[in-house]
Structure 1
Amino acid sequence: MTVNDDSFTNWMHREEIAESMIPIIGKLHREQDVNVLLHSRSLVNKSVVSILKTHRFARQIAGEELSVTETMPFLRALTTLDLGPSQIDIGMLAATYRADGGGLSVEEFTAEAVAGATGDNKIERRASRDVVLYGFGRIGRLLARLLIEKAGSGNGLRLRAIVVRKGSGQDIVKRASLLRRDSIHGQFQGTITVDEANSKIIANGNEIQVIYSDDPTTVDYTAYGIKDAILIDNTGRWRDREGLSKHLQAGISKVVLTAPGKGDVPNIVHGVNHDTIKPDERILSCASCTTNAIVPPLKAMADEYGVLRGHVETVHSYTNDQNLLDNYHSSDRRGRSAALNMVITETGAASAVAKALPDLHAPITGSSIRVPVPDVSIAILSLRLERETTREEVLDYLRNVSLASPLKRQIDFISAPDAVSSDFIGSRHASIVDAGATKVDGDNAILYLWYDNEFGYSCQVIRVVQHVSGVEYPTYPAPAV
């Protein structure tokens, strides 16, 4: 047998194992509300090839490839346990066991590592929480995809309605079509039908009421059986407490804004300050995509090295706020063609850092350039540190942060030398450290941070909504503090 034959036989063997993983992962998710992860990446509803690629990717951040032959025994071990709602990272289980299994069998090690999610320790499955999307643009439709995806277990968040202004002719059909197909993020994973008579979009069995209104105070959500709902305002029309309170007047329980909040509206970056949300807080903001991209790595660097000052330069994809061709715009430069120009513009991300990291007293400045790509941006974060370090030390530290810290869902790490912006479309992390571009000289460090300013940000919004709704389940093994 040739080497090529050996490689192909090995591939087919791993395919077979990955194929057998799918029904186990699906059953754990549906019946026990357990989300199986691999180094923070969900394996629920993933294909055979996707599962294998996710294992392969571990090599880039952990330094060595992780095989399905290593993780499968841990997955099987989970099926023998009385698990409650949780997120369990079989990649972390395998890596930790490989480093030091303590002389235990895989079954014993697994039972000990996830003990907080079993038996008397497990939390009860909670009733689903109604969610309303106010607005259905770029972010709104991605939020809809994520909410529908996460409704698979029948618990957690349940998208009940979208509120939009009435358009002309076949409005609901056109909105369903935009949800079904996206030029950047591809086709919707599932089926979508339209019930025009009852103004509903049915996506993967989820009946989503389409409500037409231009005034939040006039919507009667109880007429649709919607109660105690969390509303996600992705219009950006109101950004202060007074304006967003209009939703509360209609009976909404909590309002989450997908733009930087003004005044005393808390700006939340999940993973960094979501635990500061007061139980009685009814209005909050998820800040901006750029704030979510820079704050987690900024916190990580400040915690380890200290930060004296910093500057962030954002090279940002164009957005709907710009003109396709030169035309009138209230902003000085955004009226020029987004598809033909690099456009210097302002960013509020630097000032928003103070709200998310109030204990960081270092001055952070910022500026932004919009460029002719439709999605994925990069933030260049230049820092003056409190102590000198080396490039190797910083990269080792950030690699470990992405693998095993409380920020591992926010910070990703890539060492591929040929990575470009389109490679990060669909990334669920708030920020991806580009190892090859990182520069360190004594007490100066420059980090290049990729981020999908649409999808990655939407994932951060959903995490905040899960947290305030009480359906953010604990992760095992617990990340290192």
Structure 2
Amino acid sequence: MTVNDDSFTNWKNREEIAESMIPIIGKLHRERDVTVLLHSRSLVNKSVVSILKTHRFARQIAGEELSVTETLPFLQALTSLDLGPSQIDIGMLAATYKGDDQGLSVEDFTARAVAGATGANKIEHGEGRDVVLYGFGRIGRLVARLLIEKSGSGNGLRLRAIVVRGGGDRDIVKRASLLRRDSIHGQFQGTITVDEANSAIIANGNTVKVIYADDPTEVDYTGYGIKDAILIDNTGKWRDREGLSKHLRPGIDKVVLTAPGKGDVPNIVHGVNHDMAKPDEQILSCASCTTNAIVPPLKAMDDEYGVLRGHVETVHSFTNDQNLLDNYHKSERRGRSAPLNMVITETGAASAVAKALPDLRARITGSSIRVPVPDVSIAILNLQLAREVTREEVLDYLRDVSLTSPMRRQIDFISAPDAVSSDFIGSRHASIVDAGALKAEGDNAILYLWYDNEFGYSCQVIRVVQHVSGVEYPTYPAPAA
């Protein structure tokens, strides 16, 4: 047998193992509300090849490929446990088991590692929480996809309605089509049908009412059977407490804004300050995509090295706020053609850092350049540190943060030398550290942080909504503090 034959046989064997994992992952998700992760990446509803690629990607982070032969025993061990709703990272289980010196079997080690999700400790299934989307643009449709994707167990967030301004002929059909097909993010994973008579979109069995209204005060949500709902405003039309309070109509309990909040509206970056959201807070903001990209790594660097001052320069994809061709715009430069120009503009991300990291004493400044790509941006974070560092030290630290810290769902790490922006379309992390581009010398460090300013940000929005709704399930093994 040749080397090529050996490689192919090995691939086929791993394919077979990955195939055997799919029904186990699906059953845990549907019946027990358990999401199986691999280094913070969900394996729910993934194909055989996707599961294998996710295992291989671990090589980019940990330095060696993770094999399905290593993780399968931990997945099988989960099936014999009395699990409650949770997220369980089998990649972390496999990694920590390697370093364990207690001589435990895989079954016993797994039972100990996830003990908080079993037996008397487990969270009981709740009734779920109603969600309403106010607006159905780029972020609204991606949030809708995520909500529908996560509805498989039937015990979490439930997308009940979408509110849009009254449209023209076949409005609901056109909106369903935009949900079904996306030029950047691809096809919707599932089936979508339209019930025009009842003004509803049915996506993967979820009936979502489409409500037409020109103003929040026009809607009584209880008339649609909606109660205690979280409303996600992705229009950006109202950003202060007074304006967002208009959404607090019958049937709505909380309002979450997908833009930086103004005044006393709390700006929440999940993974950093989501615990500051008070249980009785009815109005809060998820800040901006750029704020979500820079705050987690900024906190990580300040925690370890101390940050004295910093500047962030964002190279940002163009957005719907800009013009396709030169035309009037209220902003000076944004009226120039977005697909044809690099456009210098402002960013509020630097000033928003103070809201998310009130204990950070460093002064952070920022600016932005919009460039002719439709999605994925990069933030260049230039920091003066409180002590001298080496490049290798910073890389090792950030790699470890991405794998084991409480911010591992926010911070990703990639060492691929040929990575470019389109490689990060669909990333669920708020920020991806580019190891090859990172610079560190003396007391200065420059981090290059990729982020999918549409999908990655939408994932952060969902995490905030899960947290404030009480359906954010714990992750095991617990990340290091």
Q: TM-score range, shorter-chain basis?
A: over 0.9
Name 1:297's counterpart in structure 2: 297
1:92 paired residue number: 92
Once the two structures are superposed, residues 403-444 of structure 1 have per-residue CA deviations (whole angstroms, 9 ceiling, x without a partner) of 000000000000000000000000000000000000001100
Distance 1:234 1:219, change over 3 A: same
CA RMSD of aligned residues (A): 0.5
SS at match of 1:388: strand
Cα deviation, residue 250, structure 1 = 4.1
Q: Give the corresponding residue for 1:82.
A: 82
1:325 corresponds in structure 2 to 325
Aligned-partner residue type, residue 83 of structure 1? L
Give secondary structure in 2 for the equivalent of 1:231.
Answer: strand
User: 1:385: Cα distance to partner?
Assistant: 0.1
Alignment partner of 1:182 is 2:218: no
Q: Which residue of 1 aligns with 2:31?
A: 31
The answer on whether the counterparts of 1:254 and 1:283 sit within 8 Å (CA) in structure 2 is: yes
In structure 1, the partner of 2:415 is: 415
The TM-score, its normalising length taken from structure 2, stands at 1.00
Query: Does 2:378 match 1:397?
Result: no
Name the residue aligned to 1:14.
Answer: 14
Unaligned runs of 5+ in 2: none
2:93–2:477 contact (8 Å) kept in structure 1: yes
| Structure 1 residue 265 displacement after superposition | 0.1
Indicate if the aligned counterparts of 2:329 and 2:335 stay in contact, CA closer than 8 A: yes
Once residues 213 and 453 of structure 2 are traced to their aligned partners in structure 1, the CA distance between those partners, rounded to angstroms, is 28
Which runs of structure 2 are paired with 1:64-213 in the superposition (5 Å)? 64-213=64-213
Secondary structure of 1:230's match?
strand
- Separation of aligned partners in 2, 1:251 and 1:448: 43
The count of corresponding residues between Structure 1 and Structure 2 is 481
- Give 1:167 shift: 1.2
- Divergent runs of 4+, >6 A: none
Helix, strand or coil: the match of 1:249? coil
Q: Secondary structure at the match of 1:365?
A: strand
Q: Does structure 1 retain, via aligned residues, the 8 Å contact 2:222–2:250?
A: no
Instruction: Please state how far the C-alpha of 1:251 moved relative to its aligned partner.
Output: 3.8
Within-5 A mapping of 1:42-57: 42-57=42-57
Contact 2:219 2:249 in 1 (8 A): no
The answer for the alignment partner of 2:443 in structure 1 is: 443
Give the superposition deviation at 1:220: 1.2
Does the CA-based 8 Å contact 1:82-1:118 persist in structure 2?
yes
Give the corresponding residue for 2:216.
216
SS at match of 2:248: helix
Counterpart amino acid of 1:376? V
Contact 1:317 1:371 in 2 (8 A): yes
Per the TM alignment, residue 168 of structure 1 is displaced from its structure 2 partner at its CA by 1.1
The equivalent of 2:261 in structure 1 is 261
| 1-structure distance, mates of 2:368, 2:112 | 48
Answer yes or no: is the 8 Å Cα contact 1:216–1:250 preserved in 2: no
% same residue = 88
Separation in structure 2 between the aligned mates of residue 113 and residue 197 of structure 1, nearest angstrom = 51
Shift of residue 98, structure 1, vs aligned partner: 1.0
Letter in 2 for 1:262: K
Per the TM alignment, residue 181 of structure 1 is displaced from its structure 2 partner at its CA by 0.1
How far the C-alpha of 1:85 sits from its partner, in A, is 0.5
Aligned to 1:279: 279
Deviations 1:180-220 (A, max 9, x none): 00000000000000000000000000000000001101101
Distance 2:175 2:220 in 1: 22
- Where do 1:348-387 residues align within 5 Å? 348-387=348-387
> How many angstroms apart in 2 are the aligned matches of 1:270 and 1:197?
39
Cα distance between partner residues in 1 of 2:222 and 2:277: 27
TM-score normalised over the length of structure 1? 1.00
Instruction: Give the letter aligned to residue 167 of structure 1.
Output: G
Query: Which residue pairs with 1:229 in the alignment?
Result: 229
Counterpart Cα distance in 1 of 2:414 and 2:284:
32
